[in-house]
């Protein structure tokens, strides 16, 4: 084939394959068999291999993803990506309409009503009909360039044909269809991979992957709902834009209504409420937009959201069902949670069988009895909850429930006595080795935000604990492949082996996890009150995990926080002192003064470390308590023996030492980054953090330096107003080099 023939054939095959992609993914009406499709695909691959210069980055063959990248570039949005103002009642819809009538001076105002898609917002820039870039919303002004990942979405055209204008920026949502999400999660759990909490999280997580070949395996989809920059084309109305989408075969949002009066708008919102549960993605609202583009321009926008649009948020759906029984769940920290076992009922598109009852106090307050008909509610991603009892439907034999009696004062999983700590509403199992606690701790330890040990999903974690393979989280590092290969994750009757492949994966990722940064370890240990940010802040104050129990800084944070809280509680307020004797009152006063003085002293001592409030007194107390406890000490001892020593990757040395080392220019300083830089932002951020600096997203008077690349206008202006030093990349290199 000569080059000209090859060019034509590549174009023909590409167009055909894209057409079949559309038929398959968008219309669910394939015209050819999978085998025929594969054959065409291979023909195109071969031709492109023979004529690499003719292969387009938007060829259908590129939808399988390409080489992994180090990080995402950033790109400025030519037209800002705004938010939408939410409203929660029909009254507010009337208000919105009245505002439009007043501002536009018309009584009839055509408006579009369509579903609000619960996905991840992206902007797709097509230049001369070719997909040039896909960018996340980011901070609204600039976002991450995720083109490689977006290219893998089969239902999204990569080329728009000859009719396309010079620049067409399509905005919309990337989402994961509910069914595909459920299937993917099930498969992941079976393979021992971490599952996602909901389709939105799964979508966001997928789009952040640096390996587009992995993205290609995930079932993502796209729906367009607006436009940004346009060149060589314009629209008079949003309806016209929608017809144009159909013409270009870009997936548009359905169902849609066009109404020009407020009653019509409200009718549409109510109709959508019925239809939305049949949509293949999550929706918790209706978006209403003024149809005329001229009117939109006239109305303009606030700094946050356009004035021509609003999102009506539906109240969480409620359903009645029968509560057959109450069971008890034991959490990671031993908390006993009563769970309602329900007659299955469809709520917001998913079948609900269980709902949380929170604790005994809540059961008493709502007077929930076994056999009652109850109202349950599911709000978005939140776990379904029992809202109230329908007392009129209470059967004569409905049984009141008392948690303590029900479990006979013992943990239902390990039989140790349960207690209700003072000031707590929940009963707790105090046995640290309780299998329920152990498996939930293991789940947290291996989770993505912690040590990210692939291969241990919910099922595997439970079985490992249940069958005694993991008694203590550290046991995970001593598992062997052969031991795991024939490990039964099924039941005795229906055994299912983990297999060698999965076993190897667990052992290998666990080996890598030994080296994970201290912050991830601290979060993974699931110490009460120590979340991700507290863990990160604590890790800044020590060099490695073994320093924590004796850390003077953390001890000071603990003391300061707790004393400060006591003083702030104002124990001298008359309501609290009413019954006190004079001596008692005086003692309290002395204590309060002494505490105030000590807090002041500690504040001064701690000042150079600039400990963020993310690590407060309560978290520090819990952290120290854990590492100083018998089990905490035993764990550290065992880690030492195993040669595991999680190190801080953001350690801030003592300020005095820092000054000596010459690194004082970066240590403890706060940087803000803006504009286009020569390296991915995350890399630069890591460099600064490794040198003991902090990176923040927004400029304030506390900012020390603004690292400004090309562009980055608004932050530059703000830095100038606030008198923040603006530095270049070279300046930063200099500062880092001086160490």
Q: In this structure, are residues 696 and 729 in contact, taking their beta carbons and an 8 Å threshold?
A: no
Q: Is 84 in the site for ligand IVH (CB under 6 A)?
A: yes
Among 75, 225, 441, 443, which residue interacts with ligand IVH (rule: CB under 6 A)? 225
Q: Which two tokens stand for residue 173?
A: 């949502």
Alpha-carbon distances, residue 687 vs 29, 521, 671, 693 (angstroms):
51, 21, 11, 9
Nearer to ligand IVH, 258 or 474 (CB): 258
**Pattern of binders to ligand IVH over 311-330, x per CB under 6 A?**
x-------------------
Of 233, 257, 231, give the one whose Cα is nearest residue 247. 233
Of residues 4-63, those binding ligand IVH (CB under 6 A): none
CB nearer to ligand IVH: pick between 112 and 635: 112
Alpha carbons 266 and 269: distance in angstroms, whole number: 5
DSSP string, 101-144: HHHHT-S---EEEEEEP-SEEEEEEEETTEEEEEEE-TTSSEEE
Q: What would the two tokens of residue 258 be?
A: 């066009």
Beta carbon nearer to ligand IVH, 235 or 432: 235
Dihedral pair phi/psi, residue 475, rounded to 5°: -60, -25
According to the binding rule CB under 6 A, does residue 306 interact with ligand IVH?
yes
For residue 71, the minimal CB distance to ligand IVH (Å) is: 23
In the bound complex, what is the minimum distance in angstroms from residue 300's beta carbon to ligand IVH? Answer: 12
CA separation for the pair 348, 384 (Å, rounded):
10
Asked whether 140 and 81 are in contact (CB, 8 A), the reply is: yes
Taking the complex as a whole, how short is the minimal distance between the CB of residue 410 and ligand IVH, in angstroms? 48
Compare residues 225 and 463 and give the one whose CB is closer to ligand IVH: 225
Comparing CB distances to ligand IVH, the nearer of 225 and 441 is 225
The alpha carbon torsion through 585, 586, 587, 592 (nearest 10 deg) reads 90
Q: Is 116 in the site for ligand IVH (CB under 6 A)?
A: yes
- Answer for which of 193, 287, 522, 556 binds ligand IVH (CB under 6 A) is 287
Segment near ligand IVH (CB under 6 A), from 76-84, 87-95, 528-536, 605-613?
Answer: 76-84
Residues belonging to the active site: 116
Using CB under 6 A as the binding criterion, the count of chain residues that bind ligand IVH stands at 15
Q: Which stretch binds ligand IVH (CB under 6 A): 32-40, 81-89, 388-396, 480-488?
A: 81-89
Q: How far separated are the first and last CA of the chain, in Å rounded?
A: 61
Q: Identify the residue among 7, 19, 64, 83 touching ligand IVH (CB under 6 A).
A: 83
284 binds ligand IVH (CB under 6 A): no
Return the number of the residue (82 or 101) whose C-beta is nearest ligand IVH.
Answer: 82
Least Å distance, CB 127 to ligand IVH, is 22
Among 23, 64, 82, 645, binds ligand IVH (CB under 6 A): 82
Task: State the Cα–Cα distance between residues 51 and 64, nearest whole angstrom.
Answer: 19
CA distance 428 to 196: 28
In whole angstroms, give the CA distance from residue 647 to residue 318.
48
Q: Does 121 bind ligand IVH (CB under 6 A)?
A: yes
3-class DSSP assignment, residue 138: coil
- Shortest distance in whole angstroms from residue 287 CB to ligand IVH: 4
Residue 495 three-state SS: coil
Q: Are 652 and 40 in contact (CB under 8 A)?
A: no
Q: What secondary structure, in 3-state letters, does 48-65 show? A: HHHCHHHCCCCCHHHHHC
* Residue 703 CB contacts under 8 Å (≥ 6 apart), including other chains: 670, 671, 672, 696, 719, 722, 724
148 binds ligand IVH (CB under 6 A): no
173 binds ligand IVH (CB under 6 A): yes
- Let me know: does 116 contact 175? Beta carbons within 8 Å: no
Q: How far is the CB of 136 from ligand IVH (least distance, A)?
A: 10
Inter-residue contact 473 to 442 (CB < 8 Å): yes
Instruction: Using the minimum distance from each CB to ligand IVH, give the nearer residue, 173 or 564.
Output: 173
CB of 156 to ligand IVH, least distance (A): 16
Interface with ligand IVH (CB under 6 A) = 82-84, 114, 116-117, 121, 173, 225-226, 253, 287, 306, 309, 311
């Amino acid at each position: 084939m000569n080059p000209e023939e090859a060019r034509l054939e590549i174009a023909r095959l590409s167009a055909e394959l894209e057409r079949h992609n559309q038929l398959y993914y968008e219309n669910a009406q394939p015209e050819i068999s999978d085998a025929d499709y594969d054959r065409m695909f291979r023909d195109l691959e071969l031709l492109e291999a023979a004529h690499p210069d003719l292969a387009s980055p938007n060829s259908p063959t590129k939808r399988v993803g390409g080489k992994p990248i180090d990080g995402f570039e950033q790109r400025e949005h030519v037209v800002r990506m705004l938010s939408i103002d939410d409203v929660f009642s029909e009254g507010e819809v009337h208000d919105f309409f009245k505002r439009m009538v007043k501002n536009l001076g018309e009584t009839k105002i055509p408006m579009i009503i369509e579903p609000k898609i619960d996905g991840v917002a992206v902007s797709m820039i097509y230049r001369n009909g070719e997909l040039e870039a896909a960018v996340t919303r980011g901070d609204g002004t600039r976002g991450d360039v995720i083109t490689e990942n977006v290219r893998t979405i089969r239902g999204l055209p990569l080329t728009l044909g000859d009719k396309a204008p010079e620049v067409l920026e399509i905005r919309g949502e990337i989402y994961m269809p509910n069914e595909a999400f459920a299937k993917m999660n099930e498969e992941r759990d079976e393979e021992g991979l971490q599952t996602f909490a909901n389709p939105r999280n799964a979508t966001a997580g997928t789009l952040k992957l640096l390996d587009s070949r992995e993205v290609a395996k995930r079932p993502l989809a796209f729906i367009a709902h607006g436009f940004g920059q346009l060149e060589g084309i314009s629209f008079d109305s949003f309806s016209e834009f929608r017809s144009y989408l159909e013409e270009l075969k870009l997936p548009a949002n359905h169902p849609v209504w066009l109404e020009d009066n407020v009653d019509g708008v409200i009718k549409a919102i109510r109709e959508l409420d019925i239809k939305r549960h049949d949509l293949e993605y999550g929706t918790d609202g209706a978006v209403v937009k003024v149809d005329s583009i001229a009117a939109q321009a006239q109305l303009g926008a606030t700094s946050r959201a356009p004035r021509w649009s609003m999102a009506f948020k539906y109240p969480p759906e409620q359903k009645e069902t029968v509560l057959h029984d109450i069971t008890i769940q034991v959490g990671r920290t031993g908390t006993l949670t009563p769970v309602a076992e329900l007659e299955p009922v469809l709520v917001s598109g998913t079948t609900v069988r269980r709902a949380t009852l929170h604790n005994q106090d809540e059961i008493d307050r709502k007077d929930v009895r076994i056999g009652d008909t109850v109202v349950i509610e599911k709000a978005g991603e939140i776990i379904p909850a029992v809202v109230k009892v329908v007392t009129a439907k209470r059967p004569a034999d409905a049984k009141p429930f008392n948690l303590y009696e029900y479990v006979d004062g013992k943990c239902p999983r390990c039989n140790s006595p349960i207690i209700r700590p003072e000031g707590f509403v929940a009963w707790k199992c105090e046995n640290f080795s309780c299998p329920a606690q152990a498996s939930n701790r293991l789940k947290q330890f291996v989770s993505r935000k912690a040590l990210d040990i692939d291969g241990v999903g919910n099922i595997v974690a439970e079985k490992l604990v249940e069958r005694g393979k993991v008694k203590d989280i550290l046991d995970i590092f001593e598992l062997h492949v052969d031991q795991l290969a024939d490990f039964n994750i099924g039941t005795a009757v229906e055994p299912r082996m983990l297999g060698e492949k999965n076993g190897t994966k667990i052992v290998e990722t666990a080996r890598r996890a030994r080296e994970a940064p201290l912050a991830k370890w601290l979060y993974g240990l699931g110490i009460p009150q120590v979340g991700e940010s507290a863990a990160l802040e604590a890790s800044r104050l020590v060099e490695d995990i073994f320093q924590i129990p004796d850390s003077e800084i953390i001890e000071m944070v603990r003391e300061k926080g707790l004393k400060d809280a006591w003083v702030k509680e104002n124990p001298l307020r008359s309501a609290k002192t009413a019954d006190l004797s004079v001596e008692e009152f005086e003692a309290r006063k002395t204590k309060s003064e002494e505490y105030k003085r000590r807090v002041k002293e500690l504040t001064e001592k701690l000042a150079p470390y600039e400990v963020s409030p993310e690590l407060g007194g309560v978290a520090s107390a819990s952290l120290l308590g854990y590492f100083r406890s018998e089990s905490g000490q035993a764990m550290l001892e065992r880690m030492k023996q195993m040669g595991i020593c999680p190190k801080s990757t953001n350690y801030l040395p003592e300020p005095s030492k820092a000054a000596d080392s010459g690194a004082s220019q970066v240590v403890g300083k706060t940087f803000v980054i803006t504009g286009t830089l020569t390296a991915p932002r995350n890399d630069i951020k890591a460099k600064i953090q490794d040198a003991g600096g902090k990176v923040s997203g927004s400029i304030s008077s506390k900012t020390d330096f603004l690292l400004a690349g090309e562009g980055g206008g608004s932050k530059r202006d703000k830095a100038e107003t606030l008198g923040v030093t603006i530095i270049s990349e070279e300046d930063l290199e200099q500062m880092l080099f001086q160490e």
